[in-house]
Amino acid sequence: MRLIIRRGGFFLATLWAALTLNFFLPRLMPGSPADRIIAHLHGAVDQSTVRAIEQSLGIGNTQGIWQQYLTYLGHTATGNLGYSYSQGEPVSQVIAGALPWTLGLVGITTILAFALGTAIGAVAAWRRGSRFDSVMPPLFVFTTAIPFFWVGMVLILIFSVYLGWFPSSGNVGQLTVPSLSPGYLGDVLDHAILPSLTLLVTGIGGWVLTMRNNMVTTLTEDYVRMARAKGLSPTRVMVDYGARNAILPNLTGFAMSLGFVVSGAILVEYVFNYQGVGYYLLNAVGYDDYPLMQGLFLIITVAVLVAILLSDIATALLDPRTRTAG
Amino acid sequence: MAHALADDQPGVTSPPQPGPLLEIRDLCVEYVLESGIVGAVDKVSFDLNPGEFLAIVGESGCGKSTLLFGIAQLLNPPAEITGGSVTFRGRNLVQLSDKDLAAVRWKDMSVVMQSAMNALNPVKSVGAQFRDAMRAHGVTSQEEIGQRSAEVLRMVGIDPEHLKSYPHQLSGGMRQRSMIAMAMLFTPELIIMDEPTSALDVVAQRSLMAQIKDLQQEFGFAVIFVTHDMSLVSHYSNRLMVMYAGQTSESGPTRKIFDSPHHPYTVGLTEAFPSIRGPRRTLTGIPGNPPDLARPPSGCRFAARCPKVMPRCTDDAPAQYPVEDTLVRCFLYDNAGGVP
Amino acid sequence: MAIPVTTGQGAGIPEPGGELTAAGPRRGTALRRFTRAIRTNRKATIGVVLMAIFIFVSLFPGLLAHQSPTAYSSHIMAKPSAAHWLGTDNIGADIYAQVIDGTRSVLILAVAVGALTTGVAMVIGVAAAYLGGIWDGVLSFVTDVLLVIPIFPLLIIVAAYFPNAGNSLLILVLSFTGWSYTARQLRSQAQSLRNRDFLLAARVRGERPFYIIMVEIIPTMTSLLLASFLTNALYAVLAGSGLQFIGLGKSNNVSWGTTLYWANQNAAWTTGDYLWFIVPGLCIALLGVAFAFINYAFDEIGNPALRPLSAAKARKAAEASTKRRLASYGARAR
């Protein structure tokens, strides 16, 4: 329990750091962000929009900087993330529309990559010396070095252009109406397969390699030998005594890898025009839509923090030593 | 109660047979490395009778733990058995398939390792690990498992409350004793112990040894006990085997070897231990280092450090020569009829 | 003790004794052992060869490409031909020349970021471990926060404020955001070293903390530092190309990432100019692979337990040993 409180405190601190970055970054950059936005709109804006923009950036000429800062924090806490002029709607609405797509694609694919990668790594370590083990690790070292976007483009080339099996862009067909019908869901799936495959191919390698290395070391431990001595079945030894211990460093590593996952997600959404959070972020950059950029940055940070919290909980569940360490 | 658990599978458990429980013949274990082959155990042979307590002593690196794991078929690559046989109750364990081996494991032969902190799975409770062992051998009733687990813990003086504990929550001594309890689950005929007391302080060591001896006398199992501390086993073992550089240098009844050691190495060992009650004398060590087992010397392996070395020793390798009840691998005792 | 057989923790895997071969012990220098390790480990060989090729290309681009990578020409979007091996892009510039010329900027990026990141991480990580107390608390907190905050979006936002940044800004930005993971690793290794005897001895001798850090701790951590350098270089290649690909950090600098950017802008996969994006992307992948393989190979060389086991080799070795054993028994007296 105390662990959760400490972690919670850390997360709040990180959130605060992200917000502060968000606040001060525009002010540190040359030029006034508001001016740039106005330039984008070719000056064709009315006062209220300008004020809304300034407010969402926390800029108000009438207040001192600390006052602006507090106002900004206050606004964020109440969910007022400002107005996105490039999308023509409040930032929070843009986020609400894009988030589910990203969570679905990235969330599911990451979990899949973790699960599959860990399993393959465990089996490779168990069967050391076999052909499986001599082929897999070099193969996956290779896949960890390939850039996401390139894989995406290659897959588009193969599956979309040559074979015409899957669409190359969008998260859903242009003319379909959102519903829970099989037709719609099927279309969603159709559009999600290539991006998902891209993320899977590039992401899985890391898990395989670290799990394999952890497992190899774990298998030399005395308690594994002891398990064999007790006459337990090979599967049980591999899973209960080997994998359950080898996976623990992987879980902590999960938190570290999230940065990688996020970057991959953004690039993949870009390549496939998949309208999730990453896509809108890059879009916002093109339009100098700072409120939207900041709002998206914030939501990405929150998502990462939640994921870390979940992996911490999973570690506490699997490793009794962390529970007593508090 | 104990043997009621050992469900009879055909051909595995049978009424006690006359003759040795365990026969080791010319067992060889080698480490196959990229840089060469290291012979860790070189043609070791001995017999073990039911209920006997055999101590194997030697310095670090002499191969005693490797021998132990070779007997228990628990070697990890790159170590492998490259020759000889391990016959347990008439069956050669080296040739058994994994499935047949699994039936023998724990029921008839169990293992106690050196460091319980490393030998117990850190993510499972003690009780869960007991349960694993029992379920692997066909005991499925929750009640039976619970009863037996509590029973063996009480045997070693631990409150059954601790079945729920995780290894890191127990003290060192308790962990070691719960390992022994686990080894007793099926009251096997042979328990193999690899330096189980090395991780403990002196007081805990003695109490653990006494406990082991008590259990042995009550349940009648045989023990192979590996240690580098000769004095520890002097009271408890019937027979003693001294190993050096992968070979047996002297073996025989414990008391005889202590009272009159024959092999120069054994002499050196006994003179290295002070006696609390005996007369004060200067302690002597054994200068030099053991040979490199990747390229073992062609003659006697102890020749380089032996105070009684003869020219013959570096050319020929001695066999084991009988001296009363002991076997000594030294040319000093060469008479006709040596055992290689 | 000459015998490599260990007891204690279950007589597991012994440390292979130095340079023992069937022919006899070989006393090699560190360099000789190093090159031998690279030659025998397949991954290391591939990695080193690839890296050497790239380094050569970056040093002597003029030898391999004779056309300018940025010159306008009238042959727009031409297919591969004898004059233009990979075709031309949307302004008629030769793609092959772009790939060759781009090598240098990518390598500079990789090496600079790798070194800078590792350097910063080293200073912070070791200082945190060595100074302890409140310094450790503050530094670790900053490290952890930077670790958690998603870097790539941050990079995008920063780069958005500087639309015409060149390579140098990219290097700075990547380095100052990417050190946190390495700092954590170095800190924990430094911590485990902190109370080792040789350091206590240095302290007792009266050495000052700075000296101890520089002369005693850091050299012990060379293998980790090297691995960090390689990892961070790989990170720089992928992240840098990624940023260039989405159009940030582009400048007049020719680089694989910017070539890919243009390829994407012109939808190269629909116009049939496949090589335009396949080749630069492949180069990024191969350079990344070179770094990754070398890194992985060092891992294996340092930790024998991870080396690939060859079952066939082991069996053959065992047979050879049995034959030898039988021969030697024949020579023994009874």
**Chain segment C243-277, per-residue pLDDT in tens:** 888 777 666 677 888 888 887 777 776 677 777 77
What six digits make up the tokens of C162?
């500087």
Each domain of chain A, given as residue ranges in start order, spans 100-325
B partners (3+ CB pairs within 8 A) are A, C
Task: Return the pLDDT at C306.
Answer: 60
B12-26, B193-207, C58-72, C81-95: which is most confident: B193-207
User: Which residues of C fall below an 8 Å CB-CB distance to B?
Assistant: 1-14, 16-22, 307, 309, 313-314, 317-318, 320-322, 324-325, 328, 331-334
What is the C-alpha to C-alpha distance for residues A13 and C194, in angstroms, rounded to an integer? 29
Give the pLDDT of residue B239. Answer: 92
Q: ipTM score here? A: 0.77
Report CB contact under 8 Å: C299, A213.
yes
What crossing angle do the helices spanning C133-148 and A290-318 adopt, rounded to 10°? 110
Task: Out of A128-132, A264-268, B241-245, C58-62, give the one with best mean pLDDT.
Answer: B241-245
- Using left for φ > 0, alpha for ψ between -120 and 50, and beta otherwise, residue B252 falls in left
Q: Which residue of A has its CA nearest to C160?
A: A285
Task: Note which residues in 217-236 of chain C have CB less than 8 A from chain A.
Answer: 234
User: Mind listing the pLDDT tens digit for each residue in A309-319?
Assistant: 888 888 888 88
Q: What is the pLDDT at residue A63?
A: 60
Instruction: Determine the pLDDT at residue B336.
Output: 57
Is the per-residue pLDDT at C221 higher than 70? yes
CA atoms of A137 and A125, how far apart (whole Å): 10
Q: Is C169 on the interface with A (CB under 8 A)?
A: no
- pLDDT tens digit sequence for B124-179: 899 999 998 898 888 888 898 999 999 999 988 889 999 998 988 888 888 888 99
Q: Kindly determine whether residue A149 and residue C242, on different chains, have CB atoms separated by under 8 Å.
A: yes
Contact B177, B208 (CB under 8 A): yes
Mean pLDDT of B210-215: 89
Helices A244-272 and A290-318, axial angle in degrees (round to 10)? 160
| CA dist., res. C286 & res. A199, Å (int) | 19
Nearest CA distance, A151 vs chain C (angstrom): 9
pLDDT of amino acid A326: 37
Distance CA A256, CA B286 (A): 53
Cα end-to-end span (Å), chain C: 29
Q: Do C157 and A285 touch (CB under 8 A)?
A: yes
Query: Which residues of A are less than 8 Å from C306 in CB distance?
Result: 213, 216
Residue B191 has pLDDT above 90, yes or no: yes
Angle between helices A131-144 and C274-302 (to 10 degrees): 120
Average pLDDT over residues C153-165: 74
Whether the per-residue pLDDT at C97 is higher than 90: the answer is no
User: What is the Cα–Cα distance from B172 to B182, expressed in whole angstroms?
Assistant: 15
Query: Which of C152, C274, C311 faces A263 most closely, judged by CB atoms?
Result: C152
Contacts of C249 (CB under 8 A, 6+ apart): C159, C165, C166, C167, C169, C170, C240, C243, C257
Q: Is C150 on the interface with A (CB under 8 A)?
A: yes
Judged against a pLDDT cut of 70, whether residue B282 lies above it is answered with yes
Give dist(CA B114, CA B65) in Å, integer.
10
* A27 vs C175, residue with greater confidence: C175
Q: Give me the pLDDT at residue B11, please.
A: 35
- 3-state secondary structure (DSSP) of residue A212: helix
DSSP-derived secondary structure letter, C78? P
Residue B80 backbone phi and psi in degrees, to 5: -150, 155
**Six-digit token string for B240:** 């003693």
Structure tokens at B22: 């365990």
Distances (CA, A) of A108 to A111, A239, B240, C280: 5, 24, 62, 30
Contact between A29 and C154 using a beta-carbon 8 Å cutoff: no
**Chain A residues within an 8 Å CB radius of C289:** 141-142, 145-146
Q: Answer yes or no: do B61 and C3 touch at CB < 8 A.
A: yes
Calculate ∠ Cα A257-A258-A259, nearest 5°: 90
Is some CB atom of chain C closer than 8 A to the CB atom of B65?
yes
Q: Mean pLDDT, to the nearest integer, of C86-96?
A: 73
Put simply, the answer to whether A240 touches B124 (Cβ < 8 Å) is: yes
Confidence at residue B55, expressed as pLDDT on a 0 to 100 scale: 93
Architecture of domain A100-325: Orthogonal Bundle (1.10)
Average pLDDT over residues A213-230: 86
Q: Which of chain C's residues have a Cβ under 8 Å away from the Cβ of A309?
A: none
- Portion 32-71 of A in contact with C at CB < 8 A: none
**Alpha-carbon distance values, A91 to A35, A81, A284 (Å):** 19, 6, 11
**Helices and strands per DSSP (H, E), number in chain C:** 16, 2
Nearest to C60 by CA among C48, C52, C50: C52
Please judge whether B31 and C3 are an interchain contact, meaning their C-beta atoms are less than 8 angstroms apart: no
> How far, in Å, CA of C6 to CA of A216, rounded?
19
pLDDT in tens, A82-116: 777 777 788 888 888 888 888 888 888 888 988 99
Q: What is the DSSP string of B56-107?
A: EE--TTSSHHHHHHHHTT-PPTTEEEEEEEEEETTEEGGG--HHHHHHHBTT
Whether B293 sits inside 8 A of C3 (CB atoms) is yes
CB C294, CB C230: distance < 8 Å: yes
Indicate the residue of A128, A236, A321 with minimum beta-carbon distance to B122. Answer: A321
**pLDDT at C240 > cutoff 80:** yes
Chain C interface test: which of A141, A161, A208, A219 (most C C-beta within 10 Å): A141
Query: Looking at the complex, does the CB of residue A165 fall below 8 Å from at least one CB of chain C?
Result: no
Question: What confidence tier does A295 reach under pLDDT thresholds 50, 70, 90?
Answer: confident
Measured in residues, chain A has a length of 326
Is the pLDDT at C17 greater than 50? The verdict is: no
Predicted confidence (pLDDT) per residue in B8-63, tens digit: 333 334 455 567 889 999 999 988 877 778 888 988 999 999 999 999 998 887 88
Mean pLDDT, chain A, integer: 78
The top-scoring range by mean pLDDT among A12-26, A63-77, B89-103 is: B89-103
Are A231 and B123 an interchain contact pair (Cβ–Cβ within 8 Å)?
A: no
- When pLDDT is cut at 50, 70 and 90, the band that residue C7 belongs to is very low
- The pLDDT, as a whole number, for residue B221 is 92
- Do the chains contact at A154 and C281, CB–CB below 8 Å? yes
Beta bridge partners of B36: B33
- For residue A234, the tally of other CB atoms under 10 A from its CB is 13
First and final C-alpha spacing in chain B: 44
**Contact residues, C window 101-140, toward A, CB-based 8 Å cutoff:** none
Task: Please report where in the chains the tokens 């060989």 appear, as a residue.
Answer: C45
What is the Cβ-side half-sphere exposure of residue A166, based on CA atoms within 13 angstroms? Answer: 24
User: What would the mean pLDDT of B57-70 be, rounded to a whole number?
Assistant: 87
Please list the residues that pair with B56 across neighbouring strands: B226, B241
User: What is each CA distance from A197 to A102, A110, A159, A258, C273, in whole angstroms?
Assistant: 14, 11, 11, 18, 23
Pairwise pLDDT comparison (A185 vs C48), residue with the higher score: C48
**Which other chains touch chain C, taking contact as 3+ CB pairs less than 8 Å apart?**
A, B
- For the residues of C30-55, what is the DSSP string, one character each? HHHHHHHHHHH-HHHHHHHHHHHHHH
pLDDT at C310: 53
B74 → closest Cβ in A228, A232, A321: A228
